[in-house]
Amino acid sequence: MTRFLLPCVWIAWGLSYPLMSWSLEAVDLFSSRLIIMPISGAILLALGVLNGAAALPDRRLWGQIALTGLFNMGLFQIFLIVGIATLGPSRTPIIVYTMPTWSALLAVFVLKERITLRIALSLALSLAAVGLVISQETAARSAPVGTLVTLLAAISFGIGTVLTKRMAVAGDVTINAAWQILLGTVPVLAVWLVFARDAYFHPEQVRGLLALAWLILVSNVLAYACWFRIIRALPAAVASLTTLVVPCVGFGSSALLTAAPITWLDVVALGLIIAAVTLALARRDSPA
């Protein structure tokens, strides 16, 4: 089943970066999160209920869901938005996808997962790819705060992935995902209030609204419904490594949709990423 879920996540999240640029024609970055997150959470909640699950998780899970939602959704979105606003959407995804490194390290301590030689080599290849991209990004060098904040987004999502894996055996996956998104909206709202003076909404921008609809229905509802099942099926380190395909899709789609430039070093970096993911998923015998 995982082999079908993974491409959904890769395409949904990969296309989200160039489409995010289009959505800015209709609504500002922070405000878009306050549209996307609660609607996505509500749709996932409805889908879970229609599938026979209880709308409210077991009360023993609320603390875990709130903590995981804080890192996985709230802090990640805040740091990511600031990173994109500072560095731009073209290479921000590559810095974000240092996430597998943080997930793998945290999984050792929290989940007692073992980092095999194969996983260690996969992590090394992914970090080499990130280094190649960052080395040619003048914005990353001239805006260290933006780079740091984007790295914090990666660390936050890595923590959220490990925490999600820890509670993956408990409760309905779709319901847990829904409440993580809904509770993660709260800190985003708190930060939005600080920047509310810069908010805008242009409903006449059709392309921006269509991009916003994609971000809600595909990049969030579909992607998180698949992602939480992937976390349940795979070790946290391996699940995180599979997301390295996302910037590959992001680069390619950005080149097609927004004319973002791609250098030969980017191509080398993407090759390293593909090698890293292939290595991480090789010789897995799980029927999932």
- Is the pLDDT at 127 greater than 70? The verdict is yes
Q: Considering Cα of 241, then 246, then 248, then 249, what sign does the dihedral take?
A: positive
CA atoms of 189 and 181, how far apart (whole Å): 12
Residue 151 confidence (pLDDT)? 83
CA-angle at 232, arms to 227 and 233, nearest 5°: 95
Where exactly are the structural domains of the chain? 2-281
- Residue 98, φ and ψ in degrees, nearest 5: -80, -5
- Is the pLDDT at 222 greater than 70? The verdict is yes
Quick one: what percent of the chain has pLDDT higher than 70?
82
Q: Note if the pTM is more than 0.85.
A: no
Cα 217 → chain centroid: 15
Residue 136 confidence (pLDDT)? 64
- Residue 286, φ and ψ in degrees, nearest 5: -65, 135
> Range with the lowest mean pLDDT among 13-17, 42-46, 94-98, 102-106?
94-98
The per-residue pLDDT of the chain, averaged, comes to 81
Nearest to 219 by CA among 49, 24, 14, 75: 14
CA atoms of 39 and 32, how far apart (whole Å): 11
Cβ neighbours, 10 Å, residue 3? 9
| Mean pLDDT, residues 2-28 taken together | 85
- Is the pLDDT at 134 greater than 50? The verdict is yes
Residue 4 CB-density burial (10 A; 0-12 exposed, 13-18 middle, 19+ buried): exposed
Higher-scoring residue by pLDDT: 234, 142: 234
- Residue 116: left (phi > 0), alpha (psi -120 to 50), or beta? beta
Cα 274 → chain centroid: 18
pLDDT confidence band for 27 (50 / 70 / 90): very high
Tokens of 196: 């509310």
Task: List, in sequence order, every residue forming a beta bridge with 63; answer none if it has no partner.
Answer: none
- Is the pLDDT at 175 greater than 50? The verdict is yes
69 with 181: CB under 8 angstroms? yes
